[in-house]
Structure 1
Amino acid sequence: MSEFWNQRFSQPGYIYGTAPNAFLAAQKKYLKPGMRTLAVADGEGRNGVWLAQQGLDVLSVDGSEVGLRKARELAGRRGVTLRTELTELATWNWPVLEFDLVIAIFIHFPPEHRTRLHEKMLGALKPGGMLLLEAFTPEQLQYKTGGPPVTEMLYTANMLRNDFKSAEILQLEEVLTELQEGPGHRGRAAVVRLILKKCP
């Protein structure tokens, strides 16, 4: 998988642009300077760098060394510090109780890993910490504007409600939206959005 993403991120420019995901940017009210933040599978860093620009202490993790290099370059151009770590999430020694915020934007874990890795994401949060997630739903197969081309890799609200049943769900919805995220995500898209708080 890292070879696939290294090849994809080796293209000129930023495949998903350099602006933050719109859903993430709309949650600015939850962000406070100094929050320890984990940006999961952050790719070329558009979201992690934006969070760092808001004054957050961000660790950006990804399986692509090319993506993380471009993330550090973007951070340098924006004048912010972004910590990065190259890792395969399925085998990573996930931190426990370390973060105030975890973000997961368009990450689609395969079915055999999904529930366990969602548990790891929740486990990485401190009590009261928040998770923000946006992913494509099976309806996205009609639009083909991004995301895995197989149903098994796509997410539903019911799936996320079950995977994160121990948390306090603040928002969970499936919606149609318009994506303008570089050449990789452009046009009408079917997404699921989740905001949750880890229970004390």
Structure 2
Amino acid sequence: MWDERYADDEFAYGTEPNDFLAEHSGMLSGPVLSLAEGEGRNAVFLASLGLEVVGVDGSAVGLAKAQKLAALKGVSIQTTVVDLETYTPPANFFGAAVSISAHLPSQARKRLHRLVAQSIKPGGLIMLEGYSQAQINRNTGGPKDPDMLLTRADMEQEFPGFEVLLSREVEREVIEGKFHTGLASVVQFIGKRKEK
């Protein structure tokens, strides 16, 4: 499905970074792991700030476009095609991990979040935005399976070794290409891995 979605010359979710990520990007240190990176808009933005970025995604087509976008903007990013349901990132390696609209079935998401938490160095951040369960009846983006939608409580539970810096569910205008456009309900979460 994702290879198909990314096959057009047009960028499905645009080329600008996610607003929430852009607003809080000054908190991040590298290297940054970007989950479900797709066509590269977030990784390329972070690289433009001088951060080393590793973008992972299940779509080779999307990541090829990510590399093209990086070349166009004059930055370098690393990309790796992975299945997020089985991916294991290296432990204690990343200064931060970013998860923007990385929607998975809840069991796969919990597994991934546990491993991502371990991949972030002490003092490093997880920064996440995804559609909340209140998004289910809206046609402004996100999965239609309630099991793939988020709650604040889930995020707080799935990153237990992290100090919660921000955790909220908000309604906001999301303008990200033709698939994410309009008023949306999202969960936003920033956590800092405790030093021990």
Report the Cα distance in structure 1 between the residues aligned to 2:7 and 2:33, rounded to whole angstroms.
24
Q: 1:136 aligns with which of 131, 139, 146?
A: 131
Give 1:92 deviation, angstroms. Answer: 2.1
In structure 2, stretches of 5+ residues that fail to align are none
Cα drift, residue 162 of structure 1: 1.2
Distance 2:150 2:186 in 1: 8
1:96 matched to 2:91? The reply is yes
Cα displacement string for residues 51-84 of structure 1 (whole angstroms, at most 9, x for unaligned residues): 0000000011111000000000000000000111
Give me the whole-angstrom Cα distance separating, in 2, the residues matched to 1:122 and 1:158. Answer: 16
Asked whether the 8 Å contact 2:97–2:126 carries over to 1, the reply is yes
> Residue 31 of structure 1: CA displacement?
3.5
SS at match of 2:2: helix
Alignment correspondent of 1:63? 58
Match of 1:27 in 2: 24
> Do structure 1's residue 8 and structure 2's residue 5 form an aligned pair?
yes
In the TM superposition, structure 1's runs of 4+ consecutive aligned residues that sit over 6 Å from their partners are: none
User: Hey, what's the Cα distance between the residues in 2 that align with 1:93 and 1:175?
Assistant: 30
TM-score, length-normalised on structure 2? 0.97
Displacement of 1:29 in angstroms is 2.6
**1:87-130 deviation digits (Å, cap 9, x = unpaired):** 11222232110000100001112122121111111111001000
Map of 2:76 onto structure 1: 81
The answer on whether the counterparts of 1:31 and 1:54 sit within 8 Å (CA) in structure 2 is no
Deviation at 1:175, TM superposition (A): 0.2
Separation in 2, partners of 1:53, 1:99: 18
Scaled by the length of structure 1, what TM-score is found? Answer: 0.95
Residue matched to 1:50: 45
Per-residue CA deviation, residues 12-70 of structure 1 (Å, 9 max, x unaligned), is: 310000000000000033135xx211111100010000000000000111110000000
Cα offsets for 1:114-171 (capped at 9, x unmatched): 2111111111100100010000011112322111011111000011111112211100
Q: Distance in 1 between the 2:159 and 2:91 partners?
A: 16
Equivalenced residue count is 195
Say if 2:108 is the partner of 1:113: yes
CA distance in 2 between partners of 1:5 and 1:155 (Å): 21
* Residue aligning to 2:33: 38
Counterpart secondary structure, 1:26: helix
CA contact (8 A) 2:88 2:112 kept: no
Question: 2:25 touches 2:46 (CA, 8 Å); kept in 1?
Answer: no
List runs of 5+ in structure 1 lacking aligned partners.
none
Give the alignment's Cα RMSD to 1 decimal. 1.0
**Inter-partner Cα distance in structure 2 for 1:90 and 1:118:** 10
